[in-house]
């Protein structure tokens, strides 16, 4: 189904699955607009967690009894479901971690420390999340590699001419956000992957802000690695996903050692388990993985094209309404070119003050640098206020946001 033809979401029906949205904050109806940080969790996903602990709570791959077998099957099925969700070639390419950051570190340590050296370059962008920027920065310091950064234009898009200049024969890894968590920019990750592969470099795509709200096909992108987190897509905290091409995961040594990731252990040496288990040391994220399966069920029942279109409509509406004020600056591309978030500042109002005032009106947003301090330096501001939308948000909630912002403008100015 094309996004332009996607039928509207039945928001009222969806909201019924999220009791938290019926809360009041400071005597006002809660308007939850901090979804880029963490989304809310619907009842079917909560029930999947409760069902695991009530009926078949057990460790996986370690017991022959009934409960262990049931838990093992559900956990393995969750890998299969995630593989289908992102277009991977089987569960062997899907590693469960605790979040996107751990997925990033797994590749950085398991691949980067071994493969990078003096003269190698890691190409990132000025809009990268700290999870990527800090991780590759520290790996570069340990290996002698160099980090280089693709610049952005005045509307928050990547300068692709600059990318072509930076990605060259010395490039070993290109690490890029699929979607900016601050600007709402959707990056041309497939084009960047082509550039990298032309120079025999690899591509790591941070999909934390993309997998929750749009169809993702890792094969079409030709990503070597792709990562995202369950808690941003209706799932629980404590579950992340690392997709990696099977060949690369087979060549990499594990990052963590311990139980379950081994095949044979002697006093002299050890050999590793098959994929993906060799990267899932110790008792894994069993309940969380099963709940992620349920979250994907929920999203696919709605339809990822419909989720994307719903978010884009809300973001465009919020962008248009906020930019009606001369003293409000919205960062990133125009309203029709962004995902479901808007980061902004009001002249004379610090982002933290804005967030506190919005909270008085029951509007939950994020204020600060959003783990993108270098990007905010490029933008010329230490912080911004970010409102981010998801499938259960409404135009009326955008109006509530804008009305509260206007109250703050009048209070300060």
Which residues have a Cβ under 8 Å from the Cβ of 390 and sit 6 or more positions away?
A: 35, 39, 40, 212, 213, 307, 311, 340
CB under 8 A, 24+ apart: contacts of 2-6 = 2/305, 3/305, 3/308, 3/309, 3/312, 4/309, 6/303, 6/305, 6/306, 6/308, 6/309
Which residues have a Cβ under 8 Å from the Cβ of 342 and sit 6 or more positions away?
A: 184, 315, 318, 319, 322, 330, 332, 386, 387, 388
Q: How many helices (H) and strands (E) does the chain have?
A: 15, 17
Partner residues linked to 242 by β-bridges: 95, 227
> In 10 A of CB 68, how many CB atoms?
16
Query: For residue 223, how far is the Cα from the chain centroid?
Result: 15
Handedness of CA 273, 276, 279, 282 (dihedral sign): negative
Contact 248, 49 (CB under 8 A): no
Closest CA to 311 of 343, 335, 333: 335
User: For residue 276, is the peptide bond before it cis, meaning its omega torsion is within 30 degrees of 0?
Assistant: yes
Q: How far apart are CA 60 and CA 261, in angstroms?
A: 12
Which residues have a Cβ under 8 Å from the Cβ of 99 and sit 6 or more positions away?
A: 229, 231, 237, 238, 239, 240
Residues acting as catalytic residues: 371
Q: How far apart are CA 238 and CA 209, in angstroms?
A: 16
| Torsional class of 370: left (φ above 0), alpha (ψ -120 to 50), beta (otherwise) | left
- β-pairing, 171-177 vs 121-125, is parallel
* Interior angle at CA 194, CA 193 and CA 197, nearest 5: 85
Query: For residue 387, how far is the Cα from the chain centroid?
Result: 16
Residue linked to tokens 């999203």: 299
Closest CA to 101 of 193, 233, 207, 9: 207
């Amino acid at each position: 189904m094309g996004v332009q033809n996607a039928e509207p979401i039945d928001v009222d029906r969806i909201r019924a699955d999220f009791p938290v949205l019926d809360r009041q904050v400071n005597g006002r109806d809660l308007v939850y607009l901090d979804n880029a940080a963490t989304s809310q969790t619907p009842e079917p996903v909560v029930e999947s967690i409760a069902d695991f602990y009530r009926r078949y709570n057990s460790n996986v791959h370690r017991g022959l009894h009934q409960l262990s077998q049931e838990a093992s099957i559900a956990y393995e099925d969750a890998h299969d479901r995630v593989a289908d969700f992102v277009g991977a070639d089987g569960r062997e390419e899907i590693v469960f971690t605790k979040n996107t950051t751990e997925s990033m570190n797994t590749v950085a340590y398991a691949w980067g420390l071994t493969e990078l050296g003096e003269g190698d370059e890691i190409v990132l962008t000025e809009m990268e999340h700290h999870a990527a920027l800090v991780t590759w920065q520290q790996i570069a310091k340990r290996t002698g590699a160099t980090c280089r950064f693709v610049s952005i234009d005045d509307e928050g898009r990547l300068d692709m001419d600059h990318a072509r200049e930076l990605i060259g024969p010395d490039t070993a890894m290109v690490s890029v956000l699929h979607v900016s968590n601050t600007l709402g920019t959707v990056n041309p990750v497939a084009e960047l992957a082509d550039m990298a592969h032309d120079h025999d470099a690899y591509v790591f795509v941070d999909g934390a802000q993309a997998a929750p709200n749009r169809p993702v096909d890792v094969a079409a992108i030709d990503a070597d690695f792709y990562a995202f987190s369950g808690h941003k897509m209706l799932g629980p905290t404590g579950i992340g996903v690392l997709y990696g091409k099977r060949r690369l995961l087979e060549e990499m040594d594990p990052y963590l050692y311990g139980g379950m990731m081994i095949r044979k252990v002697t006093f002299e040496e050890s050999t590793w388990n098959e994929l993906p288990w060799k990267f899932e040391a110790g008792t894994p994220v069993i309940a969380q993985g099963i709940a992620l399966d349920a979250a994907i069920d929920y999203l696919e029942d709605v339809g990822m094209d419909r989720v994307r279109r719903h978010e884009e409509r809300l973001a465009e509406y919020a962008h248009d309404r906020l930019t009606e004020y001369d003293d409000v600056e919205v960062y990133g591309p125009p309203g029709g070119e962004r995902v479901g978030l808007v980061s902004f500042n009001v002249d004379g109002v610090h982002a933290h003050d804005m967030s506190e005032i919005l909270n008085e009106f029951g509007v939950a947003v994020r204020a600060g640098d959003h783990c993108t301090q270098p990007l905010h330096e490029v933008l010329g501001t230490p912080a911004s206020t970010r409102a981010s939308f998801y499938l259960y948000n409404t135009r009326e909630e955008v109006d509530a946001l804008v009305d509260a912002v206007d109250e703050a403008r009048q209070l300060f100015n």
